[in-house]
């Protein structure tokens, strides 16, 4: 028997909305590259971007501007889109996995675990021998360690139950945050503490082309697996008994979801820091628009998440230019009022009471 979606019907046709979001994403990427605090005109930035994409020649006086466009802005914008897509996709999966509309990718404690490793590099100089890769490798390694710890503690004879996952992830997240706080307060250099705070709130300032392929492959692979299991997610969102009656093994599916979401979350957090509210807010907005069928939600959520994070990063660069705000500040400023409005309206299909 095929699992039915958790809401009666979708509200907006999927194809035109997906096409519109794709066009919006393309325009957002262009804006992200052509706008900035470097005093580079949009027309000039577009010309240099086109030269890089087509293999055209760049005059010697334009070399510095070309580096800004092609080596600083473009990888940052592309990585922002990848991270936003990954966080939104995982947010959809986590909310189905724990059957909790307030869940997001960080409820499992993985981002807090990654913060411990990242701040060990920033504040203590750990893994200095890895050079530019030290931060990403340490953050990803500690994210995997946090995942293993959450799994070991939350696992019971009945498997991974939603309540145990949420409680375990939340409790361990507080523990990881305490360790990070001790490191920040014990930092001998003020600038190191500032860098640690930037990472804790999310930043794409260190984006490089070398980071894009790893993050993109992980996010695409995770999304493809979730999309293939969309009908099973529909069943899981209706409860374990219902999903079992529909031929879905909830304990096994939840274990698989945990591994996939942990891998994607650990990867994106390792390159961008802990950016909140994307994985919480985007699934809500998409479900309000097209209904709660995961086959539809997983088409739109990654694109919407990518658009949101590209614009959040752009605002983080422009609002206090030439200084830069953490991206997580922008997503929180946008996300908090939107989320409170959604809760007051009771519009989310998983919100219940």
Within a 10 A sphere around the Cβ of 50, how many other Cβ atoms? 11
227: in domain: yes
CATH number of the CATH domain containing 234: 1.10.3470.10
* 297 falls within a domain: yes
Q: Give me the pLDDT at residue 351, please.
A: 42
Token pair in block for residue 48:
């240099």
- Cβ proximity of 284 and 339 under 8 Å: yes
3-class DSSP state for residue 15?
A: helix
In a domain, 40, yes or no: no
Counting as low any pLDDT under 50, the low residues of the chain are 1, 3, 6-9, 348-353
Spatial separation of the C-alpha atoms in residues 92 and 249, rounded to whole Å? 19
| Contact (Cβ atoms closer than 8 angstroms) between residue 302 and residue 150 | no
Burial of 246 (0-12, 13-18, 19+ CB in 10 A): middle
67, 59 contact by CB (below 8 A): no
How far is it, in rounded angstroms, from Cα 121 to Cα 138?
Answer: 7
Answer yes or no: is 49 within a domain. Answer: no
CB 198 within 8 A of CB 326: yes
Distances (CA, A) of 81 to 85, 197, 199, 297, 313: 6, 22, 18, 18, 10
Is residue 339 domain-resident?
yes
Kindly write down the DSSP assignment for every residue of 98-158, as one continuous string.
HT-TT--GGGGSHHHHHHHHHHHHHHH-TTGGGGGGHHHHHHHHHHHHHHHHHHHHH-BTT
**Global confidence as pTM:** 0.87
What per-residue confidence (pLDDT) applies to 79? 96
Per-residue confidence (pLDDT) for residue 106, from 0 to 100 = 80
In a domain, 52, yes or no: no
31 lies in a domain?
no
Whole-number pLDDT of residue 188: 62
Q: What are 285-320's pLDDT values in tens digits?
A: 898 889 889 999 999 999 999 999 999 999 999 988
Coil, strand or helix at 181: helix
Range of the domain at 284: 16-25+76-345
Report how many domains make up the chain.
Answer: 1
According to the model, what pLDDT value does residue 116 have? 87
At residue 132, the pLDDT reads 64
Place of tokens 């340490």: 138
Instruction: Give the residue among 246, 337, 234, 210 at the shortest CA–CA distance from 292.
Output: 234
Whether 10 is covered by a domain: the verdict is no
Condensed to tens digits (0 to 9), the pLDDT of residues 164-187 reads 888 888 899 899 889 888 888 776
d(CA 70, CA 49): 7
């Amino acid at each position: 028997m095929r699992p039915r979606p958790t809401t009666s019907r979708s509200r907006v046709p999927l194809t035109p909305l997906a096409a519109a979001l794709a066009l919006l994403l393309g325009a957002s990427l262009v804006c992200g590259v052509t706008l900035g605090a470097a005093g580079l005109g949009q027309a000039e930035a577009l010309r240099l971007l086109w030269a890089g994409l087509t293999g055209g020649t760049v005059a010697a006086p334009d070399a510095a501007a070309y580096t800004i466009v092609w080596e600083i802005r473009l990888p940052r914008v592309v990585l922002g889109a990848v991270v936003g897509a990954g966080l939104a996709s995982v947010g959809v999966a986590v909310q189905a996995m724990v059957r909790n509309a307030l869940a997001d990718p960080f409820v499992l404690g993985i981002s807090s675990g990654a913060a411990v490793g990242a701040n060990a590099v920033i504040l203590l100089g750990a893994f200095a021998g890895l050079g530019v890769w030290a931060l990403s490798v340490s953050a990803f390694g500690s994210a995997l360690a946090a995942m293993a710890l959450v799994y070991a503690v939350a696992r019971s004879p009945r498997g991974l139950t939603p309540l145990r996952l949420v409680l375990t992830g939340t409790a361990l997240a507080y523990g990881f945050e305490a360790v990070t706080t001790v490191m920040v307060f014990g930092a001998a250099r003020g600038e190191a503490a500032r860098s640690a705070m930037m990472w804790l709130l999310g930043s794409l300032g260190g984006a490089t082309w070398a980071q894009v392929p790893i993050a993109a492959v992980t996010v695409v692979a995770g999304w493809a697996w979730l999309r293939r299991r969309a009908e099973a997610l529909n069943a899981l969102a209706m409860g374990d008994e219902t999903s079992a009656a529909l031929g879905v093994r909830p304990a096994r599916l939840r274990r698989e979801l945990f591994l996939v979401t942990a891998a994607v979350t650990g990867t994106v957090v390792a390159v961008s820091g802990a950016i909140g509210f994307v994985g919480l807010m985007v699934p809500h907005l998409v479900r309000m628009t097209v209904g709660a069928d995961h086959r539809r939600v997983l088409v739109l959520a990654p694109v919407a998440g990518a658009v949101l994070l590209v614009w959040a990063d752009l605002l983080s660069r422009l609002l206090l230019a030439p200084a830069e705000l953490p991206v997580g500040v922008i997503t929180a400023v946008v996300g908090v009022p939107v989320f409170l409005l959604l809760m007051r309206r009771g519009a989310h299909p998983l919100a219940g009471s």
